[in-house]
């Protein structure tokens, strides 16, 4: 038998095929665009997700005989996006994405309502789903009136696969409509956002069965039988499943478009005042806390676009071992910031520029600024009671040894890079599909993958980076 994990990301989709032991045997990726019709807006056409999936599947089917034996499918997706369907199941408008900040006023109003933080366990951030619908109600009332179902990106793809309206609890935790402690929709939170329970999908655990693949797709994909489709997960919960972070204290540092520090918890322990996210995990009876920065590798990609050189080339030019902090500083707030500032208006800046500043100085500053932003996340998690014990480094940025060692130094913790650090989300999704199809215990399936390298802190420069981090923290108000 085989299993399929789907990572529905911001810039593209990855389909990962694993065998009956959970070992990857093939992968296919497809890119799609993000639309920014106005500053601060970020949208995608859900039809692009379906086209990318079908194209990736066609490649896997043509190149891997194991594809026909798929028994379980898991979908993990970029969180918070508002995909809106009418009563006939048609998409009403482009999906408003997680990094869209247009609803900052609506988010602040919801967040200030009595009982909202207590019910959800979280701040209402501008990127969350509920404020997007409040913005729609105020600015596109005709579209709002047509909304029959609100689906997150992964739930939309699950609907395409199964025909059912089902979402998992980890992804739904980022809507500001879920009672995260009770693992159910909150009538109070729905009412606060002028929504109804019938507009929400049904809820299942991420490793539970959400449905079976539609017959039409079974035939088109050439499968021998109809596989089950798991509830799935938000991308970070899936990444945690992919690296075995389901027990308390285990976690990850994700260097993707956004940056994440995540730690699993055995109990729900919200601390919204820290701007830390407290969400349901993708397995029953578990939660996780995470801090999120909005522009991690996105910051390096931005600089690469200006410099006219590939991001990997810029990073590799710095070597593999960081020296002392550079003289140029960078505040990585290209799209505002979540943890710890919850500030959609703050913007990025360089400091310390002079006539001798070159591209390497700017690159070093960007990598350091992101690393200091990740330390902000770790400090916020510690303030919320999380105690990281074992952290894996995943995401596209994990390919840089320089960045990995820099992060380990700034965090004061060793970071383990798995052999396939960019497969974490898709592998976690495949593992959810495996548990749903076989009934195996999640802890038996979601184990730590083989380590490729462990990045240790550069001890001789630790004190210098502590000083540079304090300067980074002091510079924040000047950027607001």
CB atoms within 10 A of CB 389: 12
Q: Where are the alpha helices (DSSP H) in 64-184?
A: 104-111, 116-120, 129-139, 141-145, 153-162, 169-172
Tell which residue, 364, 206, 391, has the closest CA to residue 291: 391
What is the spatial distance between Cα 360 and Cα 4, in angstroms, rounded to a whole number? 41
Non-local (6+) Cβ contacts of 7 within 8 A are: 13, 14, 15, 16, 76, 77, 235, 238, 425, 426, 429
Two structure tokens written together for 92: 């009403």
CA angle 33/50/140 to nearest 5° reads 65
Tell which residue, 6, 31, 23, has the closest CA to residue 418: 23
Q: Is the alpha carbon torsion for 216, 221, 227, 232 positive or negative? A: negative
Two structure tokens written together for 355: 């006539």
CB atoms within 10 A of CB 413: 17
Non-local (6+) Cβ contacts of 400 within 8 A are: 312, 315, 316, 367
Tell me: cis bond preceding 340? Omega within 30 of 0 counts: yes
Residue 466 a catalytic site member: no
Q: Among residues 100, 111, 235, 343, which one is catalytic?
A: 235
Contact 427, 219 (CB under 8 A): no
- Listed as own residue / partner, the contacts of 200-203 with beta carbons closer than 8 Å and 24 or more positions apart are 200/149, 200/150, 200/167, 201/149, 201/150, 201/151, 201/155, 201/159, 201/165, 201/166, 201/167, 202/164, 202/165, 202/166, 202/167, 203/166, 203/167, 203/168, 203/169, 203/172
Active site residues: 235
């Amino acid at each position: 038998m085989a299993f399929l994990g789907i990572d529905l990301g911001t810039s593209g989709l990855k389909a990962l095929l694993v065998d009956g032991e959970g070992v990857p045997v093939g992968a296919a990726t497809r890119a799609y665009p993000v639309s920014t019709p106005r500053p601060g807006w970020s949208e995608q056409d859900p039809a692009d997700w379906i086209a990318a999936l079908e194209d990736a599947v066609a490649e896997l089917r043509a190149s891997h005989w194991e594809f026909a034996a798929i028994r379980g499918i898991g979908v993990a997706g970029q969180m918070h996006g508002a995909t809106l369907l009418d009563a006939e199941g048609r998409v009403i408008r482009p999906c408003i994405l997680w990094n869209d900040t247009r609803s900052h006023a609506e988010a602040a109003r919801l967040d200030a309502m009595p009982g909202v933080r207590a019910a959800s366990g979280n701040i209402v951030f501008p990127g969350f789903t509920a404020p997007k619908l409040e913005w729609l109600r105020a600015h596109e009332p005709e579209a709002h009136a047509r909304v029959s179902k609100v689906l997150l990106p992964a739930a939309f793809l699950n609907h395409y696969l199964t025909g059912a309206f089902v979402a998992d609890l980890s992804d739904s935790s980022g809507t500001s409509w879920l009672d995260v402690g009770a693992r159910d929709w909150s009538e109070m939170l729905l009412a606060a956002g002028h929504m109804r329970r019938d507009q929400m999908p049904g809820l299942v655990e991420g490793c539970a069965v959400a449905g079976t693949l539609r017959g039409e797709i079974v035939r088109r994909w050439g499968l021998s039988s109809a596989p089950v489709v798991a509830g799935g997960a938000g991308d970070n919960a899936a990444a945690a499943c992919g690296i075995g972070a389901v027990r308390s204290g285990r976690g990850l540092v994700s260097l993707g478009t956004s940056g994440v520090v995540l730690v699993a918890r055995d109990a729900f322990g919200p601390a919204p005042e820290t701007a830390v996210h407290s969400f349901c995990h993708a397995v029953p009876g578990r939660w996780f806390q995470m801090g999120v920065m909005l522009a991690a590798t996105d910051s390096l990609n931005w600089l690469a676009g200006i410099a006219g050189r590939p991001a990997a080339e810029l990073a590799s030019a710095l070597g593999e071992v960081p020296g002392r902090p550079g003289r140029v500083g960078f505040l990585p707030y290209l799209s505002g910031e979540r943890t710890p500032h919850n500030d959609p208006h703050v913007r990025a800046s360089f400091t310390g520029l002079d006539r001798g500043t070159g591209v390497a100085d700017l690159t070093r500053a960007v990598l350091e600024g992101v690393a200091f932003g990740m330390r902000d996340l770790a400090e916020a998690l510690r303030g919320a009671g999380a105690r990281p014990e074992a952290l894996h480094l995943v995401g596209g940025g994990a390919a840089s040894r320089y960045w990995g060692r820099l992060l380990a130094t700034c965090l004061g913790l060793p970071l383990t890079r798995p052999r396939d650090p960019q497969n974490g989300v898709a592998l976690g999704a495949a593992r959810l599909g495996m548990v749903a199809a076989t009934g195996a215990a999640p802890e038996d399936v979601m184990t730590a993958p083989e380590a490729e390298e462990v990045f240790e802190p550069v001890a001789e420069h630790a004190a210098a980076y502590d000083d540079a981090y304090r300067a980074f923290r002091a510079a924040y108000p000047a950027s607001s």
